[in-house]
Amino acid sequence: MSEGLWPAAPEPRAAPGSLAAGPEPPGDPPPLPGDLVSQGRPLPGMQPLPGMQALAGMQPVPGQQARGELAAGPEPPGDPPPLPGDLVSQGRPMPGEQAPGEQPPGEPTAGPAGRRAPGGRRLALCALAIALVAAFAGGIAGYIAGASRSGLVPGFSLGTVPPALTNRPPASVAGIAARVLPSVVMIKVDGGQGTGSGFIIKGGYVITDNHVVTLDGTVRRASLRVVFNGGGAAAATLIGADPFSDIAVIRPRVSRRLPALTLGNSAGVEVGDPVIAFGSPLGLAGTVTSGIVSAVDRPVRPGSATGVTSETFINAIQTDAPINPGNSGGPLVNGQGQVIGVNAAIATLGSDGPAGQAGSIGLGFAIPINQARLIATEIIRTGRATHSVIGAVLNTGYRGHGAQILATARRGMPAVTPHGPAARAGLRPGDVIVSFGGHPVGSASALVAAIRSRNPGARVIVVFLRDGARHAAALTLGSAPS
C-alpha cells in the first residue's frame, strides 16, 4: 500500500467508539487525501485522543457539545459535521459558488457524493500563500543580513549631485587660462618633425623661440605650420630669428584677425609672484601649468639639441611651473594674464625623455618679455635683430668671482676694441667686472646675459677690479647685428 493513498480494497469497519456508517456504496470513489475529516471517517486504525472531542461521526465528550452545533440531538446519519467557518459544508453556498450537490460542467467530482470539497483546496491555497510570504520575508532578511556582513547598505545614497560650476573668477588660474589659451599655438616644423609653441601678438604675428624654428641657431629652409587652439591650422612664414636672444617671429598665412595677448613688464617681476605656463609639451596642445617665480636675472646658457655650443645667453626668469620639451616658445603669464616671459629652457638631471631630454624637475627658465619685445619689434621692422655689446672679449676660463677681460689679444682680436664702449669707459685688458647696472656679476656668462638684456645705447654703471682696487665707470652699450 502506497503511503498517503487509500487502498483499492473496501475500507474496513470504523474503529470502536465511532458510529458504524457501513461500507461505502458500490462505485463511489475513495475520498481525496487530505479531505478525510469532511467525509466523517477517522483515519484507519487510529482512535481519537482521550479527553478530546471526536471528529465528525464520533460522540462528543459527555457534558459537552460540539462547537458550532445546537443542542438538538444528533445530526442526521450520513451528514458530516460542518467545518468552522465553512459555509459550503453547512449547506449554504458562497456567493458565486455552486450549491451543494451540484457540479460545474467539465469539472471532476470532488467527493463520493459528487460534492466539491472547497475547504481542503482553500486550506491548501492559504498554506501556499503563507509559504510564499514566509519565503519572501526570509529572502529579504537574508539579503539584508548578507549585505550588512559584506559592507553593502541597501538604500545608501551620497546625496544629490550639485549644480556644475560654470563661472570662474577672472583672476583664478582657470579664468586666466580661458582668456590666454585662444592665443596660444602649436608650431610644427617640416610636417611635425619638430614641435614647439608660440603665442599671437599684435598684427597677427607669433613669437616663439629661435631653437623651435631653426637648427643650431642657423635659419634653414623649413616648412612651418601653426595649429590654433581649438582646431584649425595654417602654413606660416618665418619673419626673422635671433640666435643670441633665442627669439623668432613667424606669421600664419590667414586672412582672419587673430586674438593677441597683452604683453606685460618683466622689470616688475618679483620672486614669489604667481605665474602660469602655456604650451604644447610633448605635442599635448593647450597644456596649462602653474607655479611661482623662483628667481629673477638667472643667467642661463642653454645648449642646442645636438650638443653644439649655442650663442644664446639668457638673463632668465626662473619658475617652478612645470615646463617640458614642446613648451618652448609658449608664454609665461602673470596673475593678470599678461605675458612676462617666453618659455625657453629647463634644467634636468638626466636624459631619459623623448629625444634624449628629461622632463621637468621644477627648474624652468623664460626669456623676459622686455627683451623679447625689443627683439621681436626689431625683427618685424627690419627682418633682423641686433644685440648690445661692450666691445671687449671675456675670458671664459676665469674661475674667480666676476667676469675678466682677456689680458692679451687672441686670434688677432684685441681684448678691448679700440674706441669701443669699454675703451671709452676706461676699461683695460685684465680688468674684472664685478657689477653691471647695479647687479652683481658672478661669471662671464652672467655678464653676457646682463648685457644682452639691455637695449643698445643704454647707459649703465660698471664696477670693476684692477690690481685689487675697486673702480666704477659709466658705459654706453653699443650694438652688433645678430
To the query of whether residue 28 is one of the catalytic residues in this protein, the response is no
Task: Average the pLDDT over each of 306-310, 375-379, 416-420, 437-441 and give the range with the smallest value.
Answer: 306-310
Closest CA to 322 of 286, 356, 277, 269: 277
pLDDT digits (tens, 9 = 90+) for 251-294: 999 999 999 999 999 999 999 999 999 999 998 999 999 999 99
- Quote the mean pLDDT of the chain: 78
Please enumerate in sequence order all residues whose Cβ is within 8 A of that of 96, keeping only pairs 6 or more positions apart, or say none.
none
User: Please, how many CA atoms are within 13 Å of residue 210, restricted to the half-sphere of its CB?
Assistant: 29
What cell was used for 444?
662671464
Residue whose entry in the numeric block shows the C-alpha cell 643704454? 458
Interval 445-472 mean pLDDT: 93
Task: Average the pLDDT over each of 135-149, 156-170, 265-279, 318-332 and give the range with the smallest value.
Answer: 135-149
Choosing from 246, 320, 435, 453, the catalytic residue is: 246
Give CA–CA dist 30/14, Å, rounded: 15
- Contact yes or no for 345/278 (Cβ under 8 A): no
- List the beta bridge partners of residue 480: 387
Q: Could you count the other beta carbons within 10 Å of the beta carbon of residue 429?
A: 17
- Contact yes or no for 220/237 (Cβ under 8 A): no
Residue whose entry in the numeric block shows the C-alpha cell 668671482? 401
Work out the pLDDT band at 7, boundaries 50, 70, 90: very low
Please enumerate in sequence order all residues whose Cβ is within 8 A of that of 293, keeping only pairs 6 or more positions apart, or say none.
269, 270, 271, 272, 273, 275, 317, 318, 319
Choosing from 89, 183, 211, 482, the catalytic residue is: 211
Predicted model pTM: 0.66
To the query of whether residue 419 is one of the catalytic residues in this protein, the response is no
Residue 111 class from Cβ within 10 Å (0-12 exposed, 13-18 middle, 19+ buried)?
Answer: middle
- Contact yes or no for 366/343 (Cβ under 8 A): yes
Interval 316-324 mean pLDDT: 95
- The pLDDT score that the predictor gives to residue 166 is 85
Task: Average the pLDDT over each of 56-70, 147-161, 319-333, 358-372 and give the range with the smallest value.
Answer: 56-70
Give the CA radius of gyration of the chain. Answer: 53
To the query of whether residue 223 is one of the catalytic residues in this protein, the response is no
What cell was used for 4?
498517503
More confident residue, 15 or 129: 129
- Alpha-carbon distances, residue 317 vs 126, 281, 346 (angstroms): 88, 19, 11
pLDDT digits (tens, 9 = 90+) for 224-260: 999 999 889 999 999 999 988 999 999 999 999 999 9
SS3 468: coil
Q: 137: left (phi > 0), else alpha (psi -120 to 50), else beta?
A: alpha
- Contact yes or no for 206/250 (Cβ under 8 A): yes
What cell was used for 478?
653699443
Choosing from 18, 183, 294, 328, the catalytic residue is: 328
- Contact yes or no for 319/368 (Cβ under 8 A): no
Measured torsion, CA atoms of residues 375, 312, 365, 357, in degrees rounded to the nearest 10: 130
- The pLDDT score that the predictor gives to residue 349 is 79
Give CA–CA dist 65/44, Å, rounded: 25
- Alpha-carbon distances, residue 312 vs 209, 300, 342 (angstroms): 11, 8, 14
- Contact yes or no for 211/198 (Cβ under 8 A): no
Q: What percent of the chain has pLDDT over 70?
A: 68
Strand locations in 264-313 (E)? 274-279, 287-300
- Whether the per-residue pLDDT at 416 is higher than 70: the answer is yes
- Contact yes or no for 464/422 (Cβ under 8 A): no
- CA angle, corner 359, sides to 356 and 362, nearest 5? 140
Closest CA to 362 of 317, 403, 414, 322: 322
Q: What's the start-to-end Cα distance of the chain, in Å?
A: 120
Closest CA to 464 of 415, 405, 398, 408: 405
Alpha carbon 252 to its chain's center? 34
Q: Could you count the other beta carbons within 10 Å of the beta carbon of residue 383?
A: 12
Give CA–CA dist 473/245, Å, rounded: 26
- Whether the per-residue pLDDT at 451 is higher than 80: the answer is yes
Interval 79-87 mean pLDDT: 49
User: Going from the N-terminus, what domains does the chain have, and what CATH number goes with each?
Assistant: 52-99 (no CATH), 173-381 (2.40.10.120), 385-481 (2.30.42.10)
What cell was used for 17?
467508539
Give CA–CA dist 143/154, Å, rounded: 9
- The pLDDT score that the predictor gives to residue 280 is 94
- The pLDDT score that the predictor gives to residue 115 is 52
Give CA–CA dist 383/239, Å, rounded: 6
- Contact yes or no for 446/312 (Cβ under 8 A): no
- The pLDDT score that the predictor gives to residue 52 is 43
DSSP classification of residue 332? E
- Contact yes or no for 388/477 (Cβ under 8 A): yes
What cell was used for 323?
615646463
- The pLDDT score that the predictor gives to residue 466 is 95
- For CA atoms 248, 252, 255, 259, give the dihedral sign: negative
Q: Where are the alpha helices (DSSP H) in 67-203?
A: 118-150, 173-180
